Structures are given as C-alpha cells and as structure tokens.
Amino acid sequence: MSQVPYLLTPGPLTTSQATKQSMLRDWGSWDSDFNQITRRVCERLLAIVQAAGTHECVPLQGSGTFSVEAAIGTLVPRGGHVLVPQNGAYCQRIARICRVLGRKLTTIDYAEDAAVRAEDIERQLQADPGITHVALVHCETSAGILNPLEAVAEVVARQGRALIVDAMSSFGALPIDARTTPFDALIAASGKCLEGPPGMAFVIAKRSVLERAEGNSHSLAMDLYDQWVYMQRTTQWRFTPPTHVVAAFDSAIDQYLREGACAARGARYAANCRTLVNGFSQLGLRSFLPAAIQAPIIVTFHAPRLPHYEFRSFYAAVKAHGYILYPGKLTSIETFRVGCMGQLGERGMAGAVEAVAEVLAELTAAA
C-alpha cells in the first residue's frame, strides 16, 4: 500500500505533488500578489467555457453546495419559480435549497438510472408560463448519469426561460461552450475535474443577469451580487478567502492547461472509466448505468455477490490496499461508487482494479 491512499471519489480527489507544494506558502488576503492570483483564476475559468465576453466569474468560499445555494438565492428573484428535473441526490439537494429559500418549486422526477429528457422540460415549460428558471445537474454523481445539457439549454432558451447549471462534476472535463449552450449561470468547484483542493467554488453568471440581482439574496455571505460588486471595486474578496486553496487551484489550472485542457482531461478520465468498467466486469462486478448515459466521472457498481457483504468491511479492505472508494448513494439497491478523476499514480486505474481483485479474492476465501 502507498503511504497515502488514492481517492477514488468524485472530490475531494488525489492532487498532484505540484498542487500540494503550492499550499506551502502563506498569502495576505489583501495583498496585491494574491489578488492577481484570484483575477487570473477567474479569467481562466471563464476561458474554459468560452464565456469571457458575456459572463462574470464570482468565486465563493466553501464547497460546491455553497455556490449552488448562492446562485439560486442571488439569481432567482424572490418571486421566481424554479423547475428542477431530478434523477439523483444532487438534483434533490437543489430542490431542497429552493424550498429552504422560499423559491417556488416544481420538479420532474425520474428513476435513478434514467437521464433527464429535454422534451419533458419543454412540455412543463409550455404548460406553466410562471416558471422562470430551470436548474439542471449536468453530471448527477449519485449514480454517474450524464444529463443532456445542450438539448436542455436549447429548450430553455426557446421557451424564453433562464438556465442554471450545476456543472460540479463536469466542468473542465466535458466540453461546455457558452457561445452555443446558453446559460444564465454555471456552478463548479476547485476540488473536482480541475484537480485542485476543495474549499473554493465559483459561479459563472451572465453579466446582464448579475446586474439585475441586487437585493435578491437571502444572505449577506451568500450574496453573489455583493461579492461581484465588491471584487470589481477593490480586487479583493469581501471576507477572508481560502488563500492556500486559491493558490493551489491556480497551480492546478496551470497543470490542466499544460496537459491539454478539456480535451486531454476528458480523454484521461474516459480512459480511466473504460479501464474501470472493463476490469470490474471481468471480476463479476456490474455497473449500474447503461453506457449511453454513463459520465466518465464516477461509476456506480452493484455490490459484490459475496456472502455477508457489508460496505464498511469492503471499503476498509480496499483502503488497506491503497485506494479509497465511495459508498453508494442510491435509495433502491446496494451499490458502491468509484471515481475516475484525480492523479492516480503510475499504475493509474489499473492499479485500483488490481487492488479490488485482490480484496475480492481475500473476501471469497474468508467466506
């Protein structure tokens, strides 16, 4: 086993040595050098989705959920009405945020192994002209489903409504182009496909929408409009930023660009996914989703067919071999999840498959 296990999770994930090294320096939160880092990070994030001319990048302290809540609370007026198509836990979390914030909510509910359908959204928008926003999770990591962002964006634009995209587990690895896929806001975080540490999230919001968002927010700390205006005026964060995380994220983006940006990162994750699914299939482990809707980010597998299987003991045994898995997040059946992201060392995903094979052999022998 390696000294520190590899994280086969959808974030946090295993970062490079260079990213870790970049956290060894302390930064002053008002210092001009640190403010330049923040500016560079935001400019590069906009460039990744071709949004520099039309959108603004507003960073926020905290996990991705912080920025999802900030986006809903700031960009949806208090009298707004949000449609949430939901096929997993993170869609359901957006719906819960809407309820907590008092935003009117309608949901379209799907099975945990079914992708969102753009035609269902269009039908609902036509039936209810009061709906102002659609909130879509691009990659629903509770099962690993890839939802059809482009088709949904086209429908929402055609119906004259606003689209908020949770791109937490797709940004930087799956192509998104603001010039051809219209959205009012797109949300992601540092500790996902760009392979930075967790602790900073961001919202890429249409400038014209931000300009009209004053007074919408339920919260001072979560007010994206106030954060944006303050940063425009001062170049600084309103409140103490996660300085080490921002610096490390800047380093991670450097590495991302040198690797070949979205095309290369997406290809690496897709190769990891193929190695994982094919390798586990040979071990008798079945993936939960059909290939057509499987995102190359995280894969859900049916639990091993072992007597007295229990995830905690399986998890501990795989961890002892140097890899950390993720528990299943489905409500209906026993599963576990394996992430395809991050720096997985020289052996890569093949090493993880080999480790799980050894654990299954050990558990079978002990049964």
Low-confidence ranges of the chain (pLDDT < 70): 1-2, 331, 367
Q: Give the chain's domain count.
A: 2
Residue 1 pLDDT: 45
Q: Out of 258, 289, 314, pick the residue that ends a domain.
A: 258
Could you tell me the residue range of the domain that residue 239 belongs to?
A: 18-258
Task: List Cα–Cα distances, 152 to 52, 287, 344, in angstroms.
Answer: 22, 26, 33
**Quick one: 278 and 345 in the same domain?**
yes
For residue 105, tell me if it sits in a domain: yes
Longest C-alpha distance within the chain, in Å? 65
Residue 239 pLDDT: 97
Residue 321 pLDDT: 95
Task: List Cα–Cα distances, 271 to 10, 199, 267, in angstroms.
Answer: 16, 28, 6
**Quick one: 145 and 279 in the same domain?**
no
**Quick one: 34 and 153 in the same domain?**
yes
**Quick one: 45 and 152 in the same domain?**
yes
For residue 1, tell me if it sits in a domain: no
Residue 10 pLDDT: 84
Q: What is the pTM of this model?
A: 0.96
Residue 367 pLDDT: 64
**Quick one: 89 and 197 in the same domain?**
yes
Q: Out of 216, 232, 258, pick the residue that ends a domain.
A: 258
**Quick one: 235 and 279 in the same domain?**
no
Q: Please choose, from the candidates 150, 139, 178, 174, the residue with its C-alpha nearest in 3D space to the C-alpha of residue 47.
A: 178
Q: Out of 232, 258, 284, pick the residue that ends a domain.
A: 258
Residue 2 pLDDT: 47
**Quick one: 193 and 289 in the same domain?**
no
**Quick one: 55 and 129 in the same domain?**
yes
